[in-house]
Amino acid sequence: MKSYQVNVFGIVQGVGFRWFAQQTARTYHIVGWVKNESNGSVLMHIQGKETDIIDFIATIQQGTGFSRVDKIIKEVIIPFDANSFAIR
């Protein structure tokens, strides 16, 4: 099990990106949360199998019809307790 903080930059607020991240996390069995940041980015804490995390990030990098992902920064964090993926 791996845990990461993921910062997503681009057009990712007000376009359904957090909902998209939540649905994608369910598809790849990722737990954690996602929230908007005041600088216009989106912050996530994610946890799951490394292969699922790679697929999850590859999918969210494509964005939705209205979003555009310019940059993703992924940092290892300590494991946390979660059993779902929440929108904050």
| Annotation marks residue 88 as catalytic | no
Instruction: Name the pairing type of β-strands 85-87 and 31-36.
Output: parallel
Of the residues 7, 18, 68, 83, only one is catalytic, namely 18
SS3 labels along 15-71: CCHHHHHHHHHHHCCCEEEEEECCCCCEEEEEEECHHHHHHHHHHHHHCCCCCEEEE
Of the residues 26, 36, 68, 88, only one is catalytic, namely 36
| Annotation marks residue 18 as catalytic | yes
Residues involved in catalysis: 18, 36
